[in-house]
Chain A
Amino acid sequence: MKDLHKREETARLQDQNEYLTYLVETYGDMVYRLALARVRNPHDAEDIVQQVFLKLVKNIDRLETEEHVKAWLIKVTVNEGKSLFSSAWKRHTASIEESGEADELSLEPQDIRETSDILQAVFRLPERYRVVVHLYYYHDLSTEEIAKLLGRSNHTVRSQLSRGREKMRRDLKEVFEDV
């Protein structure tokens, strides 16, 4: 009886481990990119990814479908970034929130060189525009959905999106011609 229980337990763990592997493979980069859009620093973004996925493990039994998982990951990544950078953590990572320029990005020089113009333009935006732009263009969310997610009004999100676009337009003339 005990053995049976143990075998079931092992099988369940194996299944879950496979599911976890699948989720990391499928959504790891998505979470990483969203974290990167927030903090613009690969090391801090990795820290966020780790916290988000460890939190996912704790909550996974309550996320019924994969779509739940995906939505949950986006929501928590946005908030995880917030809690990481809201308090004392910030002091230890320079003025990431305040700095707005490519020359102050925490990406190492080789990272910046490898970064395309378009990413540099997005990363140069103030944080509040950057996340909106990322959610809108990478996750194809509507401004209404983004507003819910960030706890901002739809009007605010719309104006942040349009200001973000406006700022990038200068850097990215050819890309933006038809926007």
Chain B
Amino acid sequence: MFDSKYKEALENMKLRDSFKAGLLTKMKNAKKTSAPGRRLVLAVVAGVLVVSTSVALAANAATDGRLFRSMFVGNGYFQTQTTAGSSSAVTPAEVPTVTPTVTPTAAPAGKPTLTPTDVPEATPAVPAVTAAAAPTSKPAAQPTAALTGRTAPSVSANAGNDCVVVSWNKITNTDLVGYKVVASGSDSAPMYSENGYYAWITDAGTTSCTIHNGDGYTGGDVGTFSGGTSYYFSVTAIYGDEWQKIAGNAVQVTMPGDPVPLSDAVGRIAPSVNAVPGDNCVVVTWNRIDSADLVGYKVVASIQDSTPVYSENGYYKWITDADTTSCTIYNGDSYTSGDFGQFTGGQAYYFSVTAIYGSEWQKIAGNTVQAVMPGAAAAPDPEGTYPAVTLNDPALSGTTAALSWSRTTDTTGFNFYKVVVSTTDDTPVYPENGYVYYTTNPDELTYSYVPGGSGTYYISITAVYTANGTTHYIPSNVKTVVIP
């Protein structure tokens, strides 16, 4: 019964038609660019697979005949896939990994400049149209880059048939998070995030990207790629948890093909934004955008990032009514997925509005206005008013630790008891340390925890309360269980 109910509930969760349309365009574009030479190799691989699949089929026919199930249970199929997957890059020729290209020269600002690397001879079979590497003028990398082997991508870009193919060397550094393919019409050294991006590629083995005439661009000054216009193309590599951005060299190429008709691109403008402090609030206003392509406005803010843009910086509000051109943000309001969770009086924020256009969700960021949220700092969590519970000494029997704790003395706003366990953090607390069990019943005061093996386990109960839309996490004392 649960499965049918669950399937029924999921029926409402569907992809937006506009998203599917945009996705299909991207898929077809990606398909068009797969090289014929590569296809031959794939055919051979596929041939091998036919054999192994037939074996699987034959074996399967003897059982329940369900091939789909055999995919998972039968060994080998996915291994075959994985092995073959390494040769699946779209680029016709893979550029060998280059040596670190960031030279920490004695730059005055303490930031090194990037030296354009030589692209090895065996680069793409397509004749180079323009491959003059423009010197990057921006400080792009931290001095640590060379030390940690975080290299700048070596980029080439070539005009194809109604498209530009940007390729770069494969980066093997395990810190790599992904590549941002960037372009600009005016900036000769475009990089993410200042100049927005065209594609975000998290597969290190993907080393090329085809940009078609008429494709939309996220952020930056491109808007829509248009035939006959010249653009600077580059790739920014993103490294590590801190999202260090290292820009590759830039290559100027003219997009082949006919100019995109004005009607397609017209009206896709950046919102003109203003932000003014009011009474315990900041009022963000912008111009009404009169474009049939407009999907909506995302009101964004950031403390750190002086050019906040959706979706990198999260958003405060998503407005789909084109006629709504202002948004009041109150002291204490919460923020989704940004560098802060709640607006606080006395704190300065960068405010902006990102306009979303078309089925491809082209994001065009407006200007940024800094404003200080008026009012008193949002009251720190009045934790004292929410009682902590007390965890009793766990009773260990065999490999099970029987936990019990005191009942909360205040059930107003009580949400959960969270049983939090950590092997490394000796003051585990939800949500930082996750949880192994939770209950919404204030009278449920026991839990049998089975540790995963020998070691020291720090255990605590976080009581979770919600009041006026704010959630309070109140940790209990910590008990230690040692499994020999």
Chain A interface (Cβ within 8 Å of chain B)? 13, 16-17, 20-21, 24-25, 28-29, 32-33, 36, 43, 46, 49-51, 53-62, 64-65, 67-68, 70-72, 75, 83-84, 87-89, 91-95, 97-101, 103-104, 106, 108, 114-116, 118-119, 122, 126, 137-138, 140-142, 144-145, 148-149, 167, 170, 172, 175-176, 178-179
Contacts and interface: CB of A to CB of B under 8 A. Distances in A.
Contacts of A115: 9, 12
A139 to B, nearest CB: 10
Given A43-B311, A51-B202, A101 B43 contact: no
Interface string B6-32: 110110111100011001101110111
A101 B20 CA distance: 30
Contact of A106 (B68, B72, B81, B336): B336
Interface in B418-454: 431-435, 438-441
Contacts of A68: 53, 71
The residue among B14, B23, B85, B240 with the most chain A CB atoms within 10 A of its own CB is B23
B342 to A, nearest CB: 12
Nearest to A54: B30
A28 B27 CA distance: 13
A141 to B, nearest CB: 7
Contacts of B67: 65, 67
B471 interface: yes
Nearest to A34: B10
A67 B71 contact: yes
Contacts of A141: 69, 72
B177 A32 contact: no
Interface residues of B, number: 74
B415 to A, nearest CB: 7
Interface string B40-61: 0011011001100100000000
A20 B28 contact: yes
Contacts of B31: 13, 16-17, 20, 57, 60
Given A61-B43, A62-B46, A71-B68, A116 B243 contact: no
A119 B7 CA distance: 10
Nearest to A51: B202
A8 to B, nearest CB: 11
Interface of A is mostly: helix
A20 B27 contact: yes
A170 B415 CA distance: 14
Given A29-B13, A51-B202, A57 B42 contact: no
Nearest to B434: A98
Contacts of B341: 94
Interface string B196-208: 0000001100000
B46 to A, nearest CB: 5
Interface of B: 1-3, 5-7, 9-10, 12-15, 19-20, 23-24, 26-28, 30-32, 34, 39, 42-43, 45-46, 49-50, 53, 67-69, 71-73, 77-78, 81, 84-85, 88-90, 177, 202-203, 238, 240-243, 311-312, 314, 318, 336-337, 341, 415-416, 431-435, 438-441, 464, 466, 471
Contacts of B12: 114-116
Nearest to A50: B23
Contacts of A51: 202
A61 B42 CA distance: 7
Contacts of A65: 53, 67
Contacts of A103: 415, 466, 471
B471 A104 contact: yes
A91 B241 CA distance: 7
A130 B240 CA distance: 28
A122 B50 contact: no
B240 A88 contact: yes
Nearest to B80: A62
A101 B72 contact: no
A149 B72 contact: yes
A138 B88 contact: no
Contacts of A43: 311
Nearest to B176: A87
B435 A119 contact: no
A100 B435 contact: yes
16 contacts: A13-B32, A29-B14, A33-B10, A49-B23, A57-B30, A62-B81, A75-B78, A94-B341, A115-B9, A115-B12, A116-B9, A119-B9, A119-B13, A142-B69, A170-B439, A179-B1
Given A16-B31, A65-B67, A83 B202 contact: yes
A101 B414 CA distance: 13
A28 B15 contact: yes
A17 B84 CA distance: 23
Given A29-B14, A32-B14, A126-B434, A89 B177 contact: yes
Contacts of A140: 3
Contacts of A58: 30, 34, 88-90
B68 A67 contact: yes
Contacts of A29: 13-15
Nearest to B48: A62
A132 B431 CA distance: 22
Contacts of B202: 51, 83-84, 89
A106 B177 CA distance: 23
A137 B7 contact: yes
B46 A99 contact: no
A59 B337 contact: no
Shortest 7 CB-CB distances between A and B: which pairs?
A: A71-B71, A145-B72, A137-B3, A116-B9, A61-B42, A67-B68, A57-B30
Contacts of B50: 64
B441 A170 contact: yes
Given A29-B15, A62-B42, A20 B24 contact: yes
A141 B238 CA distance: 37
Given A32-B14, A64-B50, A138-B3, A148 B27 contact: no
Given A62-B42, A145-B69, A21 B30 contact: no
